[in-house]
Amino acid sequence: MSVQRPLAAFPPLALAVAMGAVVGCGSSASHRSTDGGDGLDGGGIDTDAGACDAGCLAWNEMGDFAPVTAPGSLVLLAPESVPPGAPFPVAVRAEHPWSGSVTLGDRTNTKTVHLYRGAGSAPWTAPGTATLLVLHADGAADRSVSVELRTERELAGTLAGDDLHWNATDDVTVTANALVDQGATLVVDAGATVRLAPKVRIEVRGAMDVRGSRTAPVLFTRSAEGDWGELDFVAGSEGAFRYAWITRGGGGNADRIFGHSSSAPVFRVTDATLSLAHSILADNSGKAFGTRTSHVTLTDTITTHSDSGGEFKQSAVRMERTHNLELPDADGSVDDDDNDGVYLSGALEGPNGDLLSVLRDVVLAVGEDDAIDHNGGRVLVERAWIQGFFHEGVACSSARTIEIRDSVITNCDQGVESGYGSPTVNVVHSYIHGNHTGLRVGDSYDMPIEGTLTVRDSVVRGNDQDARNHSNALAGPVVGALTIDCTWIETGDVTGECNRDDAPPNACPEISAPGCDCTAPGPSWCAP
């Protein structure tokens, strides 16, 4: 919600960013959020005489580990030009992986934006026709968004000829369902604006090539009240999106709902290939992605304020340097619509077996279900930052394998859960702190628990209970299902070799040597 401030609070026609304060090592705060798990109410480790409980892993005001105490330069990213009254997302990125609050505003309005490990976003609507907004990033480069009424092209039906090229001169309005037929390619130039009518979708049987740039991203937004439908990539099609700002989508009819939550996707991808780079999916009523038996690559992309970060069924997914934030929001009220950061169900079969899905250098912060819901996938999670999800940081079930390496999981109900079915779950060199339960074998269902959870070279401390092995079906532990070796851990069902209950060293740890000498486990990238 916007907060009205006096006209003099910000420079004329300027959207400015002011940094929030950072609480570093030595501050005193409760180690877990008390506001429903959204990670926004204080958060921090109780500290004694300024000593950090976890060595180089201190905390800041967001409940985030904070070896990075300042954001460096702040940069605002927004479309170059928008039609009058069109909603669009504004992204704020920091030079460093900093977490904290910033204030976003123009002459009359301000909003608080929460950055998580260097990124955040807020919705904005420009003022009336021909109003120029100058966006200022507190000493960084200014960003101007011109509000102008350009020539409008209304399109629908099968696209052919010149209708397959959308430029930055004319605004395109898709008034009814449109089709890119097999063998055709829709090209969208940098700086273009695409508006879609409520529930309208674009079906792609050929290819769609969106060529935005850092200074002139392509904006997809709604043309009227009511969110537009989806971008539907069917069998054999391809989509490539660079610098695409995608908002107010996923508003399909009930028959377009995808997967196990009650929303339609913004991107529906079936037996197809999709890539997004340097893009934003923000403020969508539906889930960001709904894919089946497809190849999906996401890099340097922010997904926020949407029903979920996406549901990927039998797909090969690669996510690198992505931020999935505040899903569906950060209001602390749980709507219970499976608002996962990412849901990975099954695996795509390749010529030599199941293909691996990789989530690397990803941030998943604040959500109302699980950060990563693994349901029978074959998955590698590497250097992930997971915080503030109402249920699990990583929920594993059904079958196949998932390995979690060099990751931080904090401020969730449970850090890592190995639940129903027979998943093989491995946690290596990771830091699990500040959750209700750190490690869990079992779940809230009554189905058999036949999988395993193996943890090595990690720090599992400061949770209300560090480890729990309990099956509802057995009314007790599952023998042999939980193994913890070479790990700093204090409480709970600890079984394994060479574990320690003293505090880890005040230094960045390394993986233990062969033979389980337990030199110093923990994430290798925690140093400033």
- Confidence label for 336 from pLDDT (cuts 50, 70 and 90): low
How many whole angstroms separate alpha carbon 478 and alpha carbon 55?
A: 34
Query: Does 149 or 42 have the greater pLDDT score?
Result: 149
- Is residue 36's pLDDT more than 50? no
pLDDT band at residue 80 under the 50/70/90 scheme: confident
N-terminal to C-terminal alpha carbon distance within the chain = 35
**CA dihedral sign of residues 419, 368, 34, 407:** positive
Give me the domains of the chain, ranges plus CATH numbers.
3-21+70-147 (2.60.40)
pTM to 2 decimals? Answer: 0.85
Tally of CA atoms within 13 A in the half-sphere of 420 that contains its CB: 9
- 295-315 residue pLDDT tens: 999 999 999 999 999 999 999
What is the pLDDT confidence band of residue 181, given thresholds at 50, 70 and 90? Answer: very high
Report which DSSP code applies to 113: E
Position 453: which residue type? Answer: L
User: Helix, strand or coil for residue 401?
Assistant: strand
pLDDT grade for 503, boundaries at 50, 70 and 90: low
- For residue 485 the two structure tokens come to 């070796």
State both tokens at 424: 């093989």
Q: Give residue 136's pLDDT band: very low, low, confident or very high (50, 70, 90).
A: very low
> What are the residues whose beta carbons fall under 8 Å from the beta carbon of 491, sequence distance 6 or more?
463, 465, 466, 467
- Region of poorest pLDDT, from 30-34, 111-115, 183-187, 502-506: 30-34
d(CA 483, CA 416): 13
pLDDT tier for residue 110 given thresholds of 50, 70 and 90: confident
Confidence of residue 238 (pLDDT cuts 50, 70, 90): very high
Report whether pLDDT(132) > 50.
Answer: no
Paired sense of beta strands 207-211 and 311-313, if any: unpaired
> Which helix H or strand E contains 87, and what residues bound it?
strand 87-94
So what's the pLDDT on residue 459?
84
Provide the mean pLDDT of the chain: 81
